[in-house]
Amino acid sequence: MLPINDISPKFRWNAYDATVAENIIRLEGTPEAINYFSGVCEKLTNYAYWFFLSTLWVKYSGHSDINLWKRLFSSNRIQRLRSIMKPSELTAYDRLPYFLTAYRAHRPGETEWISYTLNINIACRFARERGVNQVSQYVIKKRDALALFLRRGEDEILVLDKSKARHVRDIKIVLGAG
């Protein structure tokens, strides 16, 4: 569990950011939240842009436009690394090795994705939830991982260009096993 005071030193209160945050909270957990963000993000401070985007991803990334997420996460705004992750996540990210072993339980027919887990047990849980009997293992250079999110307990990294993840092998799992 992340500490309650896990707030970036980059945070500065701003009236526009606060209004956008209130609207995002109303839409939280829905695909409309990222669409709203996309429409209003240009005027956000750099910190708010990155923090709101990461929070939206962590709160709800299912059944939404992956290309929209890629475009938003590809922004050239400054302060990304220090704003997209909470301080505890940044500390954990800084401690990661140069080469990461990551996993993904691909959905049937999936062709685009940006999210991987560093925890094989989490990948196996997703495989069972998705009704697939394998997990793919990848090697990824740390520099290609945009962020590390610990907020959902998934040890999740984002890699915007899937060609940066080298497939190592597929690991068969037994469905129904806990």
State the Cα–Cα distance between residues 116 and 155, nearest whole angstrom: 8
Instruction: Please determine, for residue 125, whether its predicted confidence score (pLDDT) is greater than 80.
Output: yes
Q: Please give the order of strands across the beta sheet that includes 156-158.
A: 147-149, 156-158, 115-117, 99-104, 134-141, 165-172
Can you tell me the distance from the alpha carbon of 70 to that of 83, in angstroms, rounded to the nearest whole number? 17
pLDDT digits (tens, 9 = 90+) for 42-98: 999 999 999 999 999 999 877 779 999 999 999 999 999 999 999 999 999 999 999
Select the more confidently predicted residue: 69 or 2: 69
Tell me the backbone φ, ψ of residue 8, rounded to 5 degrees: -65, 140
**Predicted confidence (pLDDT) at residue 177 exceeds the cutoff of 60:** no
Is residue 159 predicted with pLDDT exceeding 60?
yes
Q: Which of 4-8, 14-18, 58-62 has the lowest mean pLDDT?
A: 4-8
Residue among 20, 9, 73, 69 nearest 48 (CA): 20
Mean pLDDT over 142-160 rounds to: 97
Using pLDDT thresholds of 50, 70 and 90, give the confidence band for residue 13.
confident
- Based on DSSP, count helices (H) and strands (E) in the chain, helices before strands: 7, 6
pLDDT at 10 (0 to 100): 77
> Residue 176 — very low, low, confident or very high, per pLDDT cuts 50/70/90?
low
Type of residue numbered 96 = L
C-alpha 23/C-alpha 35 separation (Å) is 12
pLDDT tops 60 at residue 162: yes
